[in-house]
Each structure stands twice: as structure tokens, then as C-alpha cells.
Chain A
Amino acid sequence: MHMEPPINSDELPELPDELVEALREEDLTLITSRVDRKIAARARRTFKSRKAARPVRKHRITRWAAIAASVVAAVIVIGDMRSPRTLYADHDRSGQIDIADVFTVARDDDAYSQDDLDAFAMRIVSLNEDAS
């Protein structure tokens, strides 16, 4: 370890441009292809146990389907189902008709009965099952 004297200047020392260029002219004609192949093979072995990425949307659909299935189960227990056409719509303006629309109607619209909402949920579940 060489003890260097303290430097007061805030400036970092510079070298002439031509000298810097000469320093950078390191001959890198080393044959690295053997190492390249080894590293590539090791990377493949290391990462191969990773599973393929699954789209987030799929999880979301699964979650909604589970919620919807719970609603349907309740509907079956309660009994008597109807399917009013006017109810089946994109109430929350999300761009798709899903279980969130059931909740939106249940929260904001008193015009529909519990049976109507149950039927709405049932129809959504049926469509989701058909789609999957």
C-alpha cells in the first residue's frame, strides 16, 4: 500500500487525449469463444428450471371466476333464477361485462332484485366457462 499525499484540488487529473487513446488500445484479440460457449451453457442450465411467464390477466380471470362461482353457489341455494336482458350490460364501463358489473349494480341500482343480480352473475360465469 502506497501512502499518497492529500490532494486539495477538487479537479480530477487529466491525461492528454492521445495518451488516453493509447491506453485504451489494449489488444483484446484473446480468443474468448470457448468461454462464451461455457458461460452460455451454464446460463441455460441455471435458468432452465424457471417456468414460462404466465400472463397476469389469466390470474385475474381465475380470481374473478372464483368470486363469481361463489356468487353462483349462493344463487343455487337461494333458488329461483331469472335473466333480465337489460341487466346484462357494462355498468362500470370497464370495456367488458364481468362480475364487477354485478357488484356495481348491486351497489348503485335499487331497481333490480337479488334474484336479478344472481341471474346476472350466473350468466357471466357461464360465459367465462365457455370462453375457457
Chain B
Amino acid sequence: MVANLDMQSDIDLVDICNTGDARSAEAAFGALYARHKDFVVRVALGTVGDNAIALDTLQETFTWLLKQFPPAGKGLTLTAKLTTLLYPVARNFAISEWRRGKALAADADPENLEAPGVDTANDVQRVLRELPVDRREAAILRFVHGMSLNEIAEALDVPPGTVKSRLHAAVTQLRNSPKLKAFFEK
């Protein structure tokens, strides 16, 4: 049962985590972690752009996931991609950590959170991080993670039309950036 986990879908792996024996469940969870840890790190970096927070977010997000499975939790029913479920969890952890670190006022609006640049980001990524957070996360989910309109809508908990509007606004803003002019002239 432990063999060929890489070939199995997220739904199958989650099912093993829910009901499998100790060895199978641990292996299935390990496969989920290996498959999605980069996604979680990218979400955190895309949200707050801080390496230390990204690592904390990685740990906290998968600890949260682990707690969903028996005996700690009641089990997880996956109706979409796991990334759709992980996105808001990772994003909220990243924002919470960032707030804690920056001692933001309790009533600060996370929608206006501006991601600080990180030294490892290239120019294109820096321009992306200058976008308002709602446009930025829609653009990251679409262009970096390749998620569909409906998947993004579910992850962000907004209607598909709103996602579409944010994507159009993000692309317009990127198109108007002098630093990215060369990409659009080719």
C-alpha cells in the first residue's frame, strides 16, 4: 500500500491519511508534504515576502493539516485540489506571523498588506509584489501556480467574476509597469 504514492491523487492520499494504518498514513502524509511544500512556501513568500515567516508558515500549515486526521481530528474530506484548501490556511498563517513580527495594530486590514521585497526576488517578482494584495494573490495563483478560475475563487472565497476582475486589473498594472515593458513588446 505504501508503494507508488507519488502516482496517487491528493484525494487518495488524504483517504489513506484518514483511514490507513500507521505506516501507510505516515507515508501518505509524507507524499502530500513533498508534493505541496513548495506551494506553501511560495504562498507565504508571495504574501509577506519573508523567508523566516515562509518557513514558519510551512511548519504551521502542515501541522494544521496533520491535526485534521484521526486520531487528532475527525478526518478530511477533499472535494478539490489540496492546494485550494492549503492556500487560505498558509496565507492566514503568513499574515498572522507578519503581523506579530511587525506588531501591527489589531485592526490593520490584511487586504492592504504590502509584501516587502526579498533579496532573492528578481525584478519581475518585485513588480508583482508591488500589486495590491488581492490582485497579487490572484495573479500568483493563476500565473505561478496555474490554478483555474474556479480553483482560485474557492481558494480566495470570492466569486469567479471577482477573480476575473482582479486578474484583469493585475495584468493591466503589470503591462503598464516600465520595468516589464520589454516583455510586452516582444
Q: A-side interface residues toward B, CB under 8 Å?
A: 1-2, 4-7, 9, 12-16, 18-20, 22-32, 34-36, 38-40, 42-44, 46-53
Contacts and interface: CB of A to CB of B under 8 A. Distances in A.
Interface string B9-49: 00000000100111111100110010001100110010000
A89 B42 CA distance: 65
Q: How large is the interface on B (under 10, 10 to 19, 20 to 34, 35 or more residues)?
A: 35 or more
B169 A4 contact: yes
A53 B1 contact: yes
17 contacts: A6-B161, A13-B167, A16-B183, A23-B143, A25-B124, A26-B125, A30-B41, A35-B58, A46-B66, A46-B69, A46-B71, A47-B25, A51-B21, A52-B21, A52-B23, A53-B1, A53-B21
Contact of B29 (A2, A29, A38, A47): A47
B165 A19 contact: no
Contacts of A9: 164, 168
A43 B51 CA distance: 24
B103 interface: no
Contact of B59 (A15, A29, A35, A53): A35
Given A46-B66, A50-B21, A51-B22, A26 B144 contact: yes
Nearest to A22: B124
B165 A50 contact: no
Given A30-B41, A47-B26, A12 B167 contact: yes
B174 A15 contact: yes
B63 interface: yes
A43 B26 contact: yes
Given A1-B111, A1-B134, A19 B183 contact: yes
Contacts of A23: 124-125, 128, 139-140, 143-144
Interface in B135-153: 135, 139-140, 142-144, 149
B26 A44 contact: yes
B20 A53 contact: yes
B78 interface: no
Contacts of A46: 66-67, 69, 71-72
A1 B111 CA distance: 6
Contacts of A25: 122, 124-125
A24 B144 contact: yes
Contact of B169 (A1, A2, A26, A35): A2
B132 interface: yes
Contact of A5 (B23, B41, B165): B165
A26 B128 CA distance: 12
